[in-house]
């Protein structure tokens, strides 16, 4: 059992850490300014420029298979890198990334969807949730009816990340009304110019998702992704990939803000002594550090398990549930330690506070993760003590 990164992994971690400190953190004031004016934190061009710089350092396609030019570093490294880039709120991700389910594209679809997405030429979005179907995805109603060699899509999707920016959507629709859920849902690749429109949804965070409206949108039959009626499985695969990474995002962000609290508590004097001298503050710092460490190990266990080719779904739910809640607790404590300043927009803590609340909702809410964990234990799919 090895509980440390290899020298090579540490070197990669250090390189990304420096990239984040040198290229991303200096952009934070500008991101805050832009967002205050209702603009995206950084422009698409700026993001591309940063992705190019990262690519020059070898960071392109972190988990993209080598046959597509990716680095294919594996999930442990995905966790390491996600933690590092989450130490800033600058909205950045490495280039050469495409949704895991786009690898189910056939050769023709790969040319139109997978490859342009990897190259940053096209933006995708994942459209499963509907006004009447969030946690209970089996209730989706978006209909797809076959007419000749086309499918006609009608319905609405809601809360779709990137829905306003996307060039195409991976849309889940009911193709067999008798079955619905498993066996009755198909995933379609639907270009924006096929006729769907999007409406921005204002949220408390800065990553406004969108509603997608489908009004008799005609989709050629060759745009079915994977198997006809096989969409539900694809949806679960997409969600499963992102779930435990929410925990990684929480770990990186919590580490950054806790350091801010440590620095602040040493400088801020009240009643003649630094805050850092007070047990009330020390205990908040200590509890936060312990919780970050615990979340980190859950994340790495989920990542490592996946790298072994094993089923990590139980661990992914644990990493997401604990990580998301840990992140919220730590950011709340850090805001408290900063007092009134923590509540202002002069500091980024309130921005993190708003973003962190989402971690408990998307990719399966807290309650859904608890449901999964409890079901696995009660049905005996997982036994206590089996996980290491």
Ligand X SMILES: Cc1cc2nc3c(=O)[nH]c(=O)nc-3n(C[C@H](O)[C@H](O)[C@H](O)COP(=O)(O)OP(=O)(O)OC[C@H]3O[C@@H](n4cnc5c(N)ncnc54)[C@H](O)[C@@H]3O)c2cc1C
Task: Name the residues that contact ligand X, by CB under 6 A.
Answer: 126-129, 134-136, 159-161, 203, 207, 209, 358, 361-362, 365, 367-368
Beta carbons within 8 Å of 105's beta carbon, 6+ residues apart: 113, 114, 189, 225
CB 225, CB 314: distance < 8 Å: no
Q: Is 195 exposed, middle or buried (0-12, 13-18, 19+ CB in 10 A)?
A: middle
From 83, 67, 100, 94, select the one nearest 5 (Cα to Cα): 83
CB of 235 to ligand X, least distance (A): 8
Place of tokens 């803000």: 257
CA dihedral angle for residue 292, residue 294, residue 299, residue 305, rounded to 10 degrees:
160
Cβ proximity to ligand X: between 111 and 375 the closer is: 375
CB of 60 to ligand X, least distance (A): 23
CB of 203 to ligand X, least distance (A): 5
DSSP string, 168-183: EEEEEEES-TTT-HHH
Closest residue to bound ligand X by CB: 134
Tokens found for residue 267: 């400088």
Q: What sections of the chain are H helices per DSSP?
A: 7-19, 28-36, 44-56, 75-85, 107-109, 115-118, 181-184, 231-267, 279-307, 313-337, 339-343, 349-359, 366-378
CB of 365 to ligand X, least distance (A): 3
Cβ proximity to ligand X: between 53 and 357 the closer is: 357
CA 113 to chain CA centroid, nearest Å: 20
CB of 356 to ligand X, least distance (A): 12
Task: Round to whole Å and give the CA distance between 338 and 330.
Answer: 12
Cβ proximity to ligand X: between 71 and 125 the closer is: 125
CB of 352 to ligand X, least distance (A): 15
Beta carbons within 8 Å of 363's beta carbon, 6+ residues apart: 239, 242, 243, 246, 320
Cβ proximity to ligand X: between 201 and 294 the closer is: 201
CB of 128 to ligand X, least distance (A): 3
How many CB atoms are located within 10 Å of the residue 76 CB? 19
Task: Round to whole Å and give the CA distance between 116 and 121.
Answer: 5
Q: Is 193 exposed, middle or buried (0-12, 13-18, 19+ CB in 10 A)?
A: exposed
CB of 186 to ligand X, least distance (A): 15
CB of 212 to ligand X, least distance (A): 10
Cβ proximity to ligand X: between 27 and 158 the closer is: 158
CB 308, CB 231: distance < 8 Å: no
CB of 321 to ligand X, least distance (A): 11
Cβ proximity to ligand X: between 141 and 278 the closer is: 141
CB 53, CB 19: distance < 8 Å: yes
Cβ proximity to ligand X: between 140 and 261 the closer is: 140
Task: Round to whole Å and give the CA distance between 205 and 355.
Answer: 5
Cβ proximity to ligand X: between 71 and 250 the closer is: 250
Cβ proximity to ligand X: between 63 and 161 the closer is: 161
Tokens found for residue 191: 């270009």
Cβ proximity to ligand X: between 336 and 365 the closer is: 365
């Amino acid at each position: 059992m090895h509980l440390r990164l290899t020298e090579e992994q540490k070197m990669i971690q250090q390189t990304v850490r420096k990239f984040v400190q040198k290229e991303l953190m200096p952009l934070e004031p500008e991101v805050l300014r832009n967002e205050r004016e209702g603009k995206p934190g950084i422009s698409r061009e700026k993001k591309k420029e940063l992705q190019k710089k990262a690519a020059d350092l070898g960071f392109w396609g972190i988990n993209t298979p080598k046959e597509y030019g990716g680095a294919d570093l594996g999930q442990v490294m995905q966790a390491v890198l996600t933690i590092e880039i989450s130490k800033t709120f600058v909205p950045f991700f490495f280039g050469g990334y495409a949704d895991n389910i786009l690898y189910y594209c056939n050769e023709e679809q790969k040319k139109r969807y997978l490859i342009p997405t990897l190259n940053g030429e096209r933006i995708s979005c994942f459209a499963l949730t509907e006004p009447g179907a969030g946690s209970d995805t089996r209730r989706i109603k978006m209909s797809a009816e076959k007419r000749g060699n086309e499918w006609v899509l009608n319905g609405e999707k809601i809360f779709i990340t990137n829905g306003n920016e996307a060039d195409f959507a991976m849309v889940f629709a009911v193709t067999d009304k008798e079955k619905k859920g498993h066996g009755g849902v198909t995933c379609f690749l639907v270009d924006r110019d096929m006729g769907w429109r999007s409406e921005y949804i204002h949220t408390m965070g800065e990553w406004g998702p969108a509603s997608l409206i489908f009004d008799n949108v005609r989709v050629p039959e060759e745009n079915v992704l994977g198997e006809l009626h096989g969409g539900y499985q694809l949806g679960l695969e997409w969600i499963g990939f992102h779930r435990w990474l929410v925990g990684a995002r929480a770990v990186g962000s919590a580490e950054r803000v806790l350091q801010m609290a440590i620095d602040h508590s040493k400088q801020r004097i009240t009643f003649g002594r630094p805050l850092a001298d007070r047990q009330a503050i020390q205990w908040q710092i200590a509890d936060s550090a312990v919780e970050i460490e615990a979340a980190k190990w859950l994340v790495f266990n989920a990542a490592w398990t996946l790298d072994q080719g094993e089923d990590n779904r139980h661990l992914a739910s644990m990493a997401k549930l604990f990580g998301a809640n840990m992140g919220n607790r730590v950011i709340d404590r850090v805001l408290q330690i900063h007092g009134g300043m923590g509540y202002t927009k002069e500091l980024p803590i309130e921005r993190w506070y708003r973003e962190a609340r989402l971690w408990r909702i998307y990719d399966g809410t807290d309650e859904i993760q608890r449901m999964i964990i409890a079901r696995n234990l009660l049905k005996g799919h997982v036994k206590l003590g089996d996980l290491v």
